Amino acid sequence: MAYVLDNLRTDIRNYTEVDDSVLSNTILDTIIKNSENRIYREVDTDDNRVYATSTLISGNRFVTIPADLRNIRYVQLKNTNVTPNTQDFLEKKETSYMATFYDTPGTASGIPKYYANWDADFWVVAPTPDATYEITLAYMKQPISITNTTTPTAAPAATNGTYLSNKYQDLLLYACLTEAYGYLKGPTDLLQYYEMSYKRSLASYSIEQEGRRRRDEYQDGVIRNVIKSPSP
């Protein structure tokens, strides 16, 4: 059964045998969000892989970081100023390394080869762009929590579920129960049981996520059924 917010709350209370006088909706929502974040930190989820495009402007070395970014996978630069067009990946560096490129900050100096964190809102590239370039940002987004009652607008996560709650209910439930028993200072044996159950579910989930990115049946050499044809 896929989870939406209400029946996930109900299951957590039923499994822990604690009612809403102790596990209020507010407390449960915190437990659920902590549990979701634990899963997302431990395994990259296919559903959270996104791409965005941006434009580098001549003389401007700053790039706005996507608001929903959790961690970056790669940055690719497309140079349409040459024929044929070229595409190259930028190397990530420390900000101190980038300073060696800036004799006069903001002065156009070449085709960018590197990028680094500047602050919470911007990356900086080097050399400073000498023309307009297109870049593609591939990153892991911060997913929407099942506790969200307003986003997405047309189908809020709380009533329509999320990638995790619709496909990996056991993993989400065990993560929530581990968090809940920690909050309740519950019996150690139950906490250990749900922690072990969570880790087993997480291992299966991790294998599936990694497998989906690495293989398809054609490349992986899956045995195919032999189709017998009539003898001539």
pTM: 0.78
CA separation for the pair 176, 156 (Å, rounded): 20
pLDDT at 106: 54
Structure tokens at 168: 């990996």
The 10s digit of each residue's pLDDT in 178-189 is 999 999 998 999
What does pLDDT average to over the chain? 88
The CB density around residue 98, as the number of other CB atoms within 10 Å, is 21
How confident is the model over 81-108, as pLDDT tens digits?
Answer: 999 999 999 999 998 888 877 765 555 5
Q: What's at 222, amino acid-wise? A: V
- Percent of the chain beyond pLDDT 70? 88
- Across 4-13, 100-109, 190-199, least confident range: 100-109
CA gyration radius, the chain: 24
